[in-house]
Structures are given as C-alpha cells and as structure tokens.
Amino acid sequence: MVFSSIPFLYYFLPCALLLYFAAPRKLKNTVLLLTSMVFYGWGEPKFVFVMLLTVFQGYLFGILIEKSGGRRAGVYLAVSAAISLGMLGYCKYADFFIKNFNAVTGLSVPLLKVTLPIGISFYTFQILSYIADVYRGSVPAQRNFINMAAYIAMFPQLIAGPIVRYADISVQLNDRRHSFEKCALGIRRFILGLGKKVLIANALGELCSIFRESEDKSVLFFWLYAAACALQIYFDFSGYSDMAIGLGRIFGFDFPENFNYPFISKSATEFWRRWHISLGSWFRDYVYIPLGGNRVKRFRWLCNLMIVWFLTGFWHGAEWNFIVWGLFFGVLLILEKLALMKILEKTGILRYIYIVPVVLLSFVLFDAASLSEAWIYIKSMFGAGGLPIVSAEGLYYLKSYCGILIIAFLGATPLISAGIRKLREKKTFAKVLNIMEPVVLLLLMLVITGYIVDGSFNPFLYFRF
C-alpha cells in the first residue's frame, strides 16, 4: 500500500484515524502498531514476521545491554547489529555478491532471488541507532514491547523514512500532545507532500520514461532527461517525507525534517547537508564519528570519508552504479574540503553553475540500470557518438513539459514559501489566506484524487531502498 493510492487515502487512513482517536491514551500505541501491521502486510504479509523478528531482537538486546554494561554489553551490541545487518545483507545484497563472485571466478552459483522486504533499509537503521544509543547510555532501554514495535513499525515513516531515531520520539511514545492546531498542520503538510508526489514527481517520471523509449535522442533531450530525473527523485522522496512528517503530527509525533531545498546549494558539501538529512546525520553519528571523524591523521580522515560514502552509495542499492555514485560524491567532498571550497567561495554565482551540472550528472548515474548505461548517457550529454544537439522529439517534449519543469524548478527553491510567508506578515492578506487555505487544500485534494484515479504511473522510487 502506498500513500498515493485510493485504498490508503479513503479506506485505510480514515479507519486508522478513527480507531486511534477513539482509543484511550493507554491503548493508542497498540492501535498504532496494529494499524501499521495491516498497512505493512497489505501487499507482503509474510514480511511482517521478518520485521517483527528484527524488532524483537532489538528490544531484547537493548534490555540486555542496559542490564549488563561493560564488555558483555559490547558483545550484545555486536550480536544485535550482526543480526540486523545480516538480515539486511541476506535480503538486499546476497545476489549482488553472488553475481560478482560468478563474474570473477567464472562459476555459475545460482542466485537466491530473495524478495526485498519493503522499508528494510530504513527500519534496520532505526534499530541499529536504538541499540547503539542504549549502549552509549544516551537513552534508556524501552521495556514495553508495544511501544518499541510501534516506534519501528509506525506506518507514516516505515516504508521510506525519514530515519527517525528513538531519542527523537522516546518521550512522545509515552506522552504526546494532540491538538486541533497540530492536526491541521499535519493535514496541510500531508496534502502538500501528496501533491508534490502525484502532480509533479509522477509527471516528471513520465517524461523520463518517454526519454528511455525514444529513438530520436539528442544532447538537448539527454539534458532534459537529467533535469527531469533529478527533480523527479527530489519531489518523489521529499513528497513522501512531507507526508510522513504530516501524518506524524496528526498522531502527535514530531519527526525530523529530511530536506531543506538542496538545489539551492553552492557546493556538494552543502547539497548533502540539505538532501536526505536523516541519512546523512545517521552515517555521521554512527559511522564517521566512531571511526574517528576528522580528529585523526589526514590519510585516516580521508579513508573515513570514503568509507562513509561507499556505505552511503551501497545503502541505496545493490548495484555498482550506486557504489560509484556514493564514491563520486565522496571524492568531490574531499576535493572541496582540501582546496576547491576556497576557490568556490571567491567565485560568487559561479558556485551555482558548478553544482547544478554536477548534481544532474550524479542523478543520471544514480538512475541508470548499470554502469555501462550510465557511461553511455553521460557521454551522450556531451555529444559523444555524433549525437545531434537538438532533435524534433527533444524540442517537442521540452515544449510539452515546459510548464511542469518551471513549476518543479520554482518548487525546489524557497521562493514560493518565502512569498507566502511575507503575505502572512500583512494582516489583510493573512486573514484572506487563513480563509482560503482550507478551500485550496480541499480543491488540491480533489485534483490529486482525480490524477490518482486516472493515472497509471505511480511508483515510490525509494521503496526499492
């Protein structure tokens, strides 16, 4: 079940909210857990048991770590991490290692063809951060299994994040505030996120699909695809994060922000401070800093950075293009830290000109089916192979999708939100906006529903991670 579907919007969610708000305070987490199980098991019921098993071991070892302390606590931490990572490795990476083993050795070891449980990368990292924080003494172990399972399995953020740490909502699991104002803000955030997904990301995804099937490609068409691809991924994932944060508020939780207008960045370093913030901070706190961060000798520091970016790429998918994508950013960030940043700071607007094509090229690599395809695409963007600069089909689709591209570019900047904020500062406009907002949101929801009913292109890209 996905958020941008009729069953979720008009059957599951109303029932879940009705049950949740009708339940007494002591049973709200139980209702949240049970509805989350229904949500997760809607399409893959067998994987509910995989997730619950992973949650249970995290719950058990969290208590054991807190009770034991010392060296034994370290052993429990290692065992729990091995179980979580082992499950993730088996489901997500087993066939990758087998394929590469066969390629190196010439053997034909059969692939396991394990179906990837949806959201396993996200809830695995949440469990890992929980047991690490218990080991450090940052948070107390959760003694109530229902609360622990509700934290991990909470359907708003279960499938594709943001990666919510236990420390962020530990207090709210036991005592959270529900209010009309918080609920209204949550509904607004959810509808806007749904609009980003259905009205913008899906339209850009259609353009990317048209490009892949086209036999009349040109340099212009390749760059058009690169821009559409990068924006599609952004609006798809940030839209999901907005919906998750909005639903969290309705249920009384405050989830961390996951995006902060990354396309206005002036460097790759800044881009990754603004893109998928919960993942970047997770790797910083649980990999980079424990490895020594930048408090070690330069060579070790550079190795630490490359390890983090290798893992960042590998986390996204079990293919070489994801690994190279991560290492690409690792090398770029190292260059910026060593020398490039000093040069960029003196160039003014040229910093934007530098980062935009770099980001577009990186997402071509990210979206490719293989490294060889990525290399062909990147070469073609610069006219390799005698590719024409412009083609009739490329011009046609540029004109056809010009409107949605302009909307996407504006929506990827803070211009619209800043304009609305300034209007709210004026009393007259503020009153009008307050009256119009519910009407606009209702109309937007009707339009979104029409697109969902009429459309067939509706994937969530980050489900595969």
Give CA–CA dist 376/372, Å, rounded: 6
Distance CA 186, CA 253 (A): 10
Question: Which two three-digit tokens encode residue 443?
Answer: 């109309």
Q: What is the dihedral of CA 308, 313, 317, 322, to 10 degrees?
A: -160
Q: Which two tokens stand for residue 257?
A: 């922000």
- Extract the tokens encoding 84: 């979580």
The predicted pLDDT at position 93 comes to 94
pLDDT for the residue 428: 78
Quote the pLDDT of residue 465.
55
- Look over the chain and give the mean of its residue pLDDT values, rounded to a whole number: 91
Q: pLDDT tens digit string along 165-177?
A: 999 999 999 888 8
pLDDT (mean) for 344-356:
76
Tokens coding 440: 């606009």
What is the pLDDT averaged over residues 402-425? Answer: 90
Q: What is the mean pLDDT of residues 238-264?
A: 94
Label residues 102-116 b or e (16+ Cβ within 10 Å = b). eeeeeeeeeeeeeeb
**pLDDT per residue over 36-82, tens digit each?**
999 998 877 888 998 999 999 999 999 999 998 788 999 999 999 99
SS3 content of the chain, % helix, strand, coil (to 5): 75, 0, 25
- Record the tokens describing residue 260, joined without a space: 């902060």
What confidence tier does 441 reach under pLDDT thresholds 50, 70, 90? very high
Separation between Cα atoms, residue 374 and residue 464, nearest integer Å: 19
Look up residue 27 and give its DSSP letter: G
Around 406, how many Cα atoms within 13 Å sit in the side-chain half-sphere?
Answer: 6
CA distance 20 to 58: 26
Q: Where are the alpha helices (DSSP H) in 214-257?
A: 219-250
Tokens of 220: 């212009």
Structure-token pair, residue 117 = 């449980």
pLDDT band at 251 (very low <50, low <70, confident <90, very high): very high
Whole-Å CA distances, 381 to 16, 159, 339, 391, 463 = 48, 34, 28, 13, 28
163 vs 120, 311, 359, CA distance in Å?
Answer: 11, 16, 23
pTM of this structure? 0.93
Please indicate whether residue 178 is annotated as part of the active site: no
Token pair belonging to 184:
């209204």
Assign 167 to helix, strand or coil: helix
Per-residue pLDDT tens digits for 139-152: 999 999 999 999 99
The secondary structure of residue 414, as a DSSP letter, is S
Q: State how far the Cα of 163 lies from the Cα of 241, in Å rounded to an integer.
A: 10
Q: Is 188 buried (19+), middle (13-18) or exposed (0-12) by CB count in 10 A? A: middle
pLDDT of 459 reads 62
Judged against a pLDDT cut of 60, whether residue 106 lies above it is answered with yes
For residue 210, what pLDDT band results from cuts at 50, 70 and 90? very high
For the chain, give the percent of residues with pLDDT over 70: 98
Contact 9, 243 (CB under 8 A): no
Task: Tell me the three state secondary structure of residue 291.
Answer: coil
d(CA 231, CA 213): 19
Cα–Cα distance between 69 and 303 in angstroms, integer?
31
Kindly report, residue by residue over 185-201, the tens digit of the pLDDT.
Answer: 999 999 999 999 999 99
From the candidates 28, 165, 276, 316, which is the catalytic residue?
316
Question: Using 50, 70 and 90 to split pLDDT, how confident is the model at 420?
Answer: confident
**Band of the pLDDT at 454, cuts 50, 70, 90?**
confident
> Taking 80 as the threshold, does the pLDDT of residue 207 lie above it?
yes
Token pair belonging to 25: 């305070």
Q: Which residue has the higher pLDDT, 431 or 165?
A: 165
- pLDDT at position 22 over 90: yes
Structure confidence at residue 116 (pLDDT): 86
Q: What is the mean pLDDT of residues 12-30?
A: 95
Check whether 464 has a pLDDT greater than 70.
no
| Cβ-based burial of 170 (10 A; exposed 0-12, middle 13-18, buried ≥19) | middle
Higher pLDDT, 428 or 268: 268
Mean of the pLDDT values across residues 3-15?
Answer: 93
Whose structure tokens read 């989350």? 36
Please check whether residue 274 is in contact with residue 187, taking contact to mean a CB–CB distance below 8 angstroms: no
Determine the pLDDT at residue 458: 59
394 touches 223 (CB < 8 A):
no
Query: With bands split at pLDDT 50, 70 and 90, how would you rate the model's confidence at 341?
Result: confident
> Which pLDDT score is estimated for 461?
64
Find how far residue 112's CA is from the centre of its chain.
Answer: 27
Q: What is the mean pLDDT of residues 385-400?
A: 91
Q: Which two tokens stand for residue 356?
A: 């935009």
For position 156, what pLDDT does the model report?
92
Do 448 and 10 form a contact (C-beta atoms < 8 A)?
no
The mean-pLDDT minimum among 53-57, 253-257, 423-427 falls in 423-427
Amino acid at 353: I
Q: What is the pLDDT of residue 354?
A: 81
Give the pLDDT score at 158.
85
User: For residue 386, what pLDDT is reported?
Assistant: 83
Q: What amino acid is encoded at 402 in this protein? A: C
Q: Which of 8, 9, 10, 58 is CA-nearest to residue 38?
A: 8
Q: Hey, what amino acid is at 101?
A: F
229, 203 Cβ separation under 8 angstroms: no
Q: Which of 58-72, 136-150, 336-350, 441-455 shows the lowest per-residue confidence on average (mean pLDDT)? A: 336-350
Residue 457's pLDDT is what? 61
